[in-house]
Structure 1
Amino acid sequence: MTINWATITALIGLVGWIIPFVMLFIVPTNRKPSSATAWLLLVFLLPYLGLVLFLVLGSPKLSRRRRAEQHTMDKLLHQVVEEFQQQPELVALLDPPIPPRDAPYVQLNRNLGGMPALAGNSVELLPNYNAVFERIAQDIDNAQKYVHVEYFALSRDEETEGVFAAMERAVSRGVKVRVQMDHLGSRKYPNFEDMRAKLTAAGIEQHLLLPLHFFGANYTRIDLRNHRKIVVIDGQIGYTGSQNLIKRNYFRKDAIYYDELVARVCGPVVGELEAAFITDWYSETRVLLDRNTAPEVTFEPRACGEMLCQVLPSGSGFENENNLKLFTSLIHAARHTLVITNPYFVPDDALMTAITSAAQRGVDVTLFNSEASDQFLVSHAERSYYEDLLRAGVKIYQYKAPILLHSKHITIDDDIAVIGSSNLDIRSFQLNLEVTLICYDAKVVADLRQVEAVNLSKSKPVNLEEWETRSVREKLYENISRLTAALQ
């Protein structure tokens, strides 16, 4: 049989012409114009490669099953909150009066994530990397009922050993310990399987978050990850923030290591961190941790302070970009001071407009970023925004290398603080599961101002005139990286 290569070549060429026009009817559907444009540009330039990449990476949402499970948990959470709010002795904590200044954001977050603002909390900021592990281990050693641990990157190493040892001691005295870790976020570090085996041998129930499935009904695009960092102890003490449970340099071969910020919380809002953990557990195991399956896990709200706090979960299991809507709304609300600290700043148009508009209306806007780079494309993409930010009046400071400032927090004026796991990029807005703590409290802001002052002392300002003199090659890298950031 003779192969007619001319005919095959002609067919390949014809299909290569057809693919882009067919994709015009598919790609823009329910997609941001910038993202759709980037995808279509790739498909028109490289039809076959673009089609394959779109089929693999084109959907920014989790599977219908997982989104349905999120919806189920949202309804259950709503029912539980309403039941507790009917108890007169808990009204002051679970249905407190909301100051008019905070009311729009409390309502927005409740509509997006299903969780109300709760009173009676205390928040302690922990900026010292290894001191965080020591504090968590101490609290685990005092646990009486249960310990829940969830991290994007989990590693048993010389710096985290104290936390793992504390979990094992907890199990030995009858405390139930559960651990969740993102599969892709954790598996690349040394002794991953050995760590999991030791957890199981110690009697610690552990599960992978978003385990990799390349085929079948459980397939999810590989870069949809669970990026949350949560620890809950007896439902009374919680931890959340930017820091993973891993050694400070992440086993890197270069000189980079990381500075972080973690919030230790006490009070009713810990129950909302617990709700995020339980939701993730349910999605992975189909087991709901309730009074039947986990009688030790009970919501017993107790006042631990006077702070009004709220938790906002976000990610590809939700229909909305919860964290993006929160951040944009709060930035628009800034009156005189806005400080943004984030390692990966690749904003969409709405967030960029909010930030530059704030600066142009007279708000003192500061952005802390890092001189060190651990992701080539992300670092160049974020720096492509510097010039527009500087021209608008935003002050930019780069944390001096080799330390990378990995903290993720925002302060708005003197009364609202945001601390969490979310970066300010399309990945955290659309793809990753994140968790954010919002504190409507002047003391938390004052404490964060002290952290910001320390960060400022370790940073160098970015000057517009000097920035404009960077090389043509750097500008090219920035432009290309900025374009690829939209391929979501």
Structure 2
Amino acid sequence: MTDSAAGSTPAVERSACEGTRFALLDHNATALAVRLELCAGARQRLDLLYYIFREDDSGRLVADALMAAADRGVQVRLLLDDLDASGRESSLGRLDAHPRLQVRLFNPFRWRGLLRPLALLRDPARLTRRMHAKALIADSRLAVVGGRNIGDEYYAPEAEMAFADIDVLLAGELVGQVDASFEQLWSSVWATPLAELRARRAAIEVTRRARDRIARRPLHQDPAAVLAEDSQAKTLLQRIRAGSWPDLPGTGRVFADLPEKVDPAVVAAAGYFDQVLQHLVTEAASEVLIMTPYLVPTAEGMAFIHALKERGLRIRILTNSLAATDVVAVHAGYRRYRRALLEAGVELYEYRPTGYWGRRLRRLIRGAHLRASLHAKTILVDDGLVMIGSANLDPRSIQLNVELGVLIESAPLAAEIRACFAEAIAPANAWRVELEQGREQWRGAAGRHEPEAGWGRRLLARLLGFLPLEGQL
């Protein structure tokens, strides 16, 4: 959707890998359990790449698993974006103090603590150019790639908001490509060892205190109790423990932005998502399904959609409603294009705050009162080509952030994605948005306003729509 700058290499597309197996992780509790199982089963190396790593129940479980792996002799490397990690040098330092556990921060703010606001004023471009990729790699043998960070909102034990998200478990040759992308980010000049950003204390004492602190913090939800009711999770975990690969066959390739994408000098660089879209242009024959939480297509994106429609393709898009979104500013940017999307012939659905994944989680986590929000970043082309990754369909992902995704050719995986999409857009889970007599209408919702969104949220979205923020959304 953008033109590459001359001489720049902002993204890399690797060759297709045969002999790869896949498992779709569309259930939040299963996604957490698989990550913990990969940590528990690692024997040589664990590499983690995340935009967000919360200090909550889910973060505690993963941190405990990383510490246990390092105790077994596993080399652990944790690369986090500094936007979320800044201000948590002390707690992250407790992990970094372990002799076999390294923490690095990507594109860090040089001024820390109370001076951070001054750093933002001095270098505002650093605020908007972040590492948004997500991956966990175990022994270069198994990897999880997708949209989930580490935090309760992605796995929903007692969370107020449950993100509906999708990851994929990879096994086989394709894991090597994910590994290579991690190495490029880890070894880049943009990844700074945590020890360089804080005074390092005595490693043995800090590591002991970290382990004690993790052990003392109570869990609000026992993950074993949740998974006991989930046959899909139990079967998949049994296969991982037995050393078996996931069931679904296929081929795939990794699309990854290079770390230089965050350099403000690379202002016209095309990211990996541009390359994915180019594949859609050449491969799509009848239909494209898109799930994206944040949809700001821009003028270039609308031109791409018109090109697909001129070829006779059916396009269906699921994104968040104003009531479900967690970022009102992005919804304000999307509202500008909603009518144009409908006029172009796009079948548009908006996710309800009580949608598919949220209701499914409530059945598993008894007594929880969850508000659901779409967070999956997935594209399905016809009945065989699937894109799963970290990139949203918005300018920030396309032009500013470092993203990571996989493009998979697998009819069985495509069938599972299609089933997820079909249930997610069912009337109980999403509103169909249509034009009736020139006005936007939400099928099944009362009134003409954004359904289930309070007047304050509607007013905020309208006011934000007047601001020139599109390039930062």
TM-score, length basis structure 1: 0.68
3-state SS of the aligned residue for 1:248?
A: helix
Assess, with a 3 A threshold, how the Cα gap between structure 1 residues 262 and 462 changes in structure 2: closer, same or farther.
same
* Residues 1:196 and 2:196 are matched in the alignment: no
3-state SS of the aligned residue for 2:431?
A: strand
Letter of the 1:398 partner, please give it: E
For 1:451, the equivalent position in structure 2 comes to 420
Letter of the 1:163 partner, please give it: V
Question: Does the CA contact (< 8 Å) of 1:224 and 1:316 recur in 2?
Answer: no
Deviations 1:146-196, CA, capped at 9 Å, x for gaps: 0001100012321232222221111111111111110103337xxx33430
Q: Name the CA distance, whole Å, in 2 between partners of 1:474 and 1:179.
A: 37
Aligned-pair Cα RMSD in Å = 3.5
Aligned pairs for 1:313-328 within 5 A: 313-314=256-257, 317-318=260-261, 320-328=269-277
Question: Does the CA contact (< 8 Å) of 1:134 and 1:162 recur in 2?
Answer: no
Q: Name the CA distance, whole Å, in 2 between partners of 1:479 and 1:379.
A: 9
Aligned pairs for 1:455-466 within 5 A: 455-457=424-426, 458-465=429-436, 466=439
Question: Does the CA contact (< 8 Å) of 2:379 and 2:388 recur in 1?
Answer: yes
* Residues 1:150 and 2:49 are matched in the alignment: yes
Assess, with a 3 A threshold, how the Cα gap between structure 1 residues 322 and 197 changes in structure 2: closer, same or farther.
closer
Question: Does the CA contact (< 8 Å) of 1:126 and 1:261 recur in 2?
Answer: yes
* Residues 1:385 and 2:328 are matched in the alignment: no
Letter of the 2:254 partner, please give it: V
For 1:263, the equivalent position in structure 2 comes to 168
Q: Name the CA distance, whole Å, in 1 between partners of 2:407 and 2:147.
A: 14
3-state SS of the aligned residue for 2:104?
A: strand
Q: Name the CA distance, whole Å, in 2 between partners of 1:425 and 1:208.
A: 24
Q: Which residues of structure 2 form unaligned runs of 5+?
A: 111-118, 194-243, 354-370, 442-447, 451-457
* Residues 1:480 and 2:430 are matched in the alignment: no
For 1:234, the equivalent position in structure 2 comes to 139
3-state SS of the aligned residue for 2:14?
A: coil
Aligned pairs for 1:9-408 within 5 A: 112-187=11-86, 192-203=88-99, 204-213=101-110, 214=119, 221-248=126-153, 256-283=161-188, 284=190, 306-314=249-257, 317-318=260-261, 320-333=269-282, 334-371=284-321, 372-401=324-353, 402-408=371-377
Q: Name the CA distance, whole Å, in 2 between partners of 1:316 and 1:361.
A: 35
Assess, with a 3 A threshold, how the Cα gap between structure 1 residues 330 and 348 changes in structure 2: closer, same or farther.
farther
TM-score, length basis structure 2: 0.70
Letter of the 2:435 partner, please give it: L
For 2:234, the equivalent position in structure 1 comes to none
Q: Name the CA distance, whole Å, in 1 between partners of 2:378 and 2:123.
A: 34
Assess, with a 3 A threshold, how the Cα gap between structure 1 residues 254 and 141 changes in structure 2: closer, same or farther.
closer
Letter of the 2:38 partner, please give it: D
3-state SS of the aligned residue for 1:486?
A: helix
Question: Does the CA contact (< 8 Å) of 2:143 and 2:175 recur in 1?
Answer: yes
Q: CA deviation at 1:218?
A: 9.8
Assess, with a 3 A threshold, how the Cα gap between structure 1 residues 170 and 255 changes in structure 2: closer, same or farther.
closer
Letter of the 1:123 partner, please give it: F
Q: CA deviation at 1:377?
A: 1.8
Q: Which residues of structure 1 form unaligned runs of 5+?
A: 1-30, 33-59, 62-66, 75-111, 288-301
Higher relative contact order (CA 8 A, sep 6+): 2
Q: CA deviation at 1:455?
A: 1.4
Question: Does the CA contact (< 8 Å) of 1:340 and 1:367 recur in 2?
Answer: yes
3-state SS of the aligned residue for 2:109?
A: coil
Greater shift in the superposed pair: 341-350 or 457-466: 457-466
For 2:233, the equivalent position in structure 1 comes to none
Number of aligned residues: 367
Deviations 1:26-75, CA, capped at 9 Å, x for gaps: xxxxx99xxxxxxxxxxxxxxxxxxxxxxxxxxx99xxxxx99x96xx9x
Question: Does the CA contact (< 8 Å) of 2:325 and 2:374 recur in 1?
Answer: no
Letter of the 1:180 partner, please give it: L
% same residue? 23
Assess, with a 3 A threshold, how the Cα gap between structure 1 residues 232 and 324 changes in structure 2: closer, same or farther.
closer
Deviations 1:204-225, CA, capped at 9 Å, x for gaps: 211111101349x999622110
